[in-house]
Copies of this chain bind each other. A is one copy, B any other.
Amino acid sequence: MSDTSQASIWNCTYTLIKHFRSRIKASGLKLQFCTNETQATREKFVEKLQRLGFDIAVNEVTAPAPAVCRILKERNMRPYLLVHDDVIPEFADIDKTSPNCVVVGDAADNFSYKNLNEAFQVLMGLKNPVLISLGKGRYYKETDGLKLDVGVYMKALEYACDIQAEVVGKPAKMFFQSALREMGVEPHQQLLLAKIDSKEAMWYSD
């Protein structure tokens, strides 16, 4: 993708979000942005968006890591983390001793054989192995080419342990429910679920 088309997509996304955001705010409806970003804390992610010109605050964003932290607390689960170094601060107040589940995110270079094997050994040591995946994407594009995403390693661990992961990230229902809880909104009060990404800009109702 050339710089020009990348720039025009950014401009288009920026304009769309600004337009819809101001109309939704004016109507008095609540608005929350959902991202599958798991290579940075929510704070760092929002800082990046602000640098790009988006008028957005941390509490307007739902991301997989904070969502999974709520779930871990609700279910008294202590994770083995197979995640990117930059997202580890999101799990600061989570008990990680004697893990009784594995949380896998887009760990990039942390997806070593040693680390994947450790996660696998934790799962195999559990009576009821629980694998929580921060998304199920196959790959994404960076400036130096295509990169394997979290879903690939989720599938690897699913096959190794003959289990099915719980996905917390778009488009999993559990993730959107978490966003609604953050907004203090019941599922039946939800009006619209919108998707805007770099390849498409579309609206759909859940």
Q: Given contacts A112-B112, A116-B111, A120-B139, are A155 and B148 in contact (CB under 8 A)?
A: no
Number of this chain's copies in the complex: 2
A83 and B10 CA atoms in complex are apart in Å by 40
Q: Is there contact, CB below 8 Å, between B108 and A113? A: yes
Contact of A120 among B124, B146, B151, B157 (CB under 8 A): B146
The size bracket of the interface on A is: 20 to 34
Q: Residue on B with the closest CB to A145?
A: B121
- If over half of A's interface residues share one DSSP class (helix, strand or loop), that class is named, otherwise mixed; here it is helix
State whether the Cβ of A138 lies closer than 8 Å to any Cβ in chain B: yes
State whether the Cβ of A156 lies closer than 8 Å to any Cβ in chain B: yes
Q: Which residues of B contact A108 (CB under 8 A)?
A: 113
Known contacts A112-B112, A117-B146, A156-B156; 6 additional CB pairs below 8 A are A107-B113, A116-B148, A120-B146, A152-B156, A153-B156, A155-B158
